[in-house]
Chains A and B, each alone.
Chain A
């Protein structure tokens, strides 16, 4: 469940960016998740709910960023498909399974161009 650690980091980054932009509340977060990033989108959503619910509603252990998280918060996940580059054919391809073999020449020497992303790409704030 390393997704929890990632969502804690997401929360920290979102707060940092929102404060830098003078925002008073965060309403939504957009995350880009590569299909090779080693995270499960459902586990990410669950971890996000856990991290966001960490504050006690009675106000005990109120986190110092609580003012930013007043209402419902949406989490949009954009999954980035895997794209490899075959150095032998100088072409990009989308692998069909876990073995990243070039469909033209069968080479396994491909490089991963896209698919490892794990990025906060947008915030909806007011």
Chain B
């Protein structure tokens, strides 16, 4: 383009446009007569729209939706097994994302959850449209809690809203006290942090004060629950808090009346 003002007139090789016009030389074919379009399009806009649609769909079903995030091996699935088994009004619905295998979904079904697996293939995070499709396969009747277990990854899932009401980040005591400092964006986005495997804290010489200070510095507003999927410690407090969240949003009444009148089976068509 014109190097002076970006007007879209091609600069001619070997001299300015004025010089060429004055000399009467034949105009050459413009190399790159381009124009500039000013835009403002967010790369996540499509995901965010789908996430908002998911959220309102979950609310129509009276569901409180959680996005459970952590590194691989921090114990998300074991925690969910316990949550599913202890939730006062089962079943809990689970959408579980993994690169391959449906082992997790089978484990969760054994624990009494209604679980559907998303095999993400090479995708390192879940996106809202994948959750929409997976949710269509769940029978949501009588269900009031939906947990979306994200792919084990502390980076990629951070920016993708799935339609959840709350984000829960899991940090296990075996991972190191400074993980919140290493992955600040994910922990900063969390509404609650579950400090898991506290039954192992002593065995791994976990420095609790240091970990809590790091969490408080990165995510000062997040609720903290110290839990153990093995001993069950802390799970009652977590369940209390989740029920409080349901009440605050007025979700419970809807979950058991199922207001918008469609059963949620595999044949359910989504608009």
Contacts and interface: CB of A to CB of B under 8 A. Distances in A.
B48 to A, nearest CB: 11
A4 to B, nearest CB: 9
Contacts of B36: 122-124
A124 B35 CA distance: 6
Given A13-B41, A36-B185, A27 B220 contact: no
A21 B186 CA distance: 38
Contacts of A117: 42
Interface residues of B, number: 35
A119 B35 contact: no
B218 interface: yes
Interface stretch (B92-100, B151-159, B229-237, B259-267): B151-159
A121 interface: yes
Most buried by B among A5, A10, A120: A5
Secondary structure at chain A's binding surface: helix, strand, loop or mixed?
mixed
A109 interface: yes
Interface string A18-40: 10010100011000000011110
Given A9-B43, A99-B217, A121-B40, A126 B185 contact: no
A89 to B, nearest CB: 16
Interface string B1-35: 10000000000000000000000000000001111
13 contacts: A2-B157, A2-B160, A9-B44, A9-B46, A17-B41, A98-B181, A99-B181, A99-B184, A101-B217, A118-B43, A119-B43, A123-B36, A124-B1
Leading 7 A-B pairs by shortest Cβ distance: A2-B156, A98-B184, A108-B220, A123-B37, A120-B41, A99-B217, A126-B34
